[in-house]
Amino acid sequence: MHHKGLTGKFIGQIVFGFEDGVISSLGIAAGLAGASLSNFIIIIGIIVQAFTGAVSMSAGTYLSTKSEMQYLTSGKRHRDIKHHIKNPLDAAFFMFISYILGSMVPIVPYVINAFGQPLIPALIISIIGLFIFGSLRTIITGGSWIKNGIEMTVIGMIAFVVGYFIGSLFSPQ
């Protein structure tokens, strides 16, 4: 079953925002942990990244959607565009909210256990979150829920490995 309502219209922003929020925050956490920084610094890093990333991504979404709409409504491209019209502010809103929600997934283990070693729990909760979200998008898009879940999870793990590796280059140990 495919849902073509408001959520379907903005599925690109929702998927991109959530996935990028999780991956960016997990990459920051991995990089800072790899550099042997304190959990408090990692929490601050994730929060700063979450809000600056959300603002940046929603601003980029606004500008790109506005540009796309201007292109579609200019000149001779008027044919059958009503299915493609998006409000740039709505697109930016969906991007912002999705990015913030995704960014919060890896921070949970750091907030709950700020003095332990929360990187592995952050990795596990991010893997689960990415797989579930990747699987759930098939409600709107169709396709294999397992394939979509695995695809989103694998992409996220690449960012984790890169973040940890880069951070470990700066570790004093």
Predicted local confidence at residue 128, as pLDDT: 94
Predicted local confidence at residue 3, as pLDDT: 47
User: Which region, left, alpha or beta, applies to residue 164 given φ > 0 means left and ψ of -120 to 50 means alpha?
Assistant: alpha
Counting residues of the chain whose pLDDT is more than 70, the rounded percentage is 88
Predicted local confidence at residue 1, as pLDDT: 39
Higher pLDDT, 100 or 39: 100
Predicted local confidence at residue 115, as pLDDT: 60
pLDDT digits (tens, 9 = 90+) for 5-23: 656 778 888 888 999 999 9
Residue 1 maps to a domain: no
Burial (CB count <10 Å: 0-12, 13-18, 19+), residue 106: buried
Predicted local confidence at residue 75, as pLDDT: 66
Residue 173 maps to a domain: no
Please give the C-alpha separations between residue 56 and each of 16, 61, 63, in angstroms, as whole numbers. Answer: 13, 8, 11
pLDDT digits (tens, 9 = 90+) for 97-106: 999 999 999 9
Burial (CB count <10 Å: 0-12, 13-18, 19+), residue 129: buried
pLDDT at 135 > cutoff 60? yes
Residue 67 maps to a domain: yes
Predicted local confidence at residue 2, as pLDDT: 44
Predicted local confidence at residue 56, as pLDDT: 95
pLDDT digits (tens, 9 = 90+) for 80-113: 566 667 788 999 999 999 999 999 999 999 988 7
Distance CA 169, CA 143 (A): 40
Higher pLDDT, 116 or 11: 11
pLDDT at 149 > cutoff 70? yes
Q: Find the domain containing 54 and state its range.
A: 6-168
The number of CA neighbours under 13 Å toward the Cβ of 66 is 9
Counting residues of the chain whose pLDDT is more than 90, the rounded percentage is 46
Please tell me the total count of domains within the chain. Answer: 1
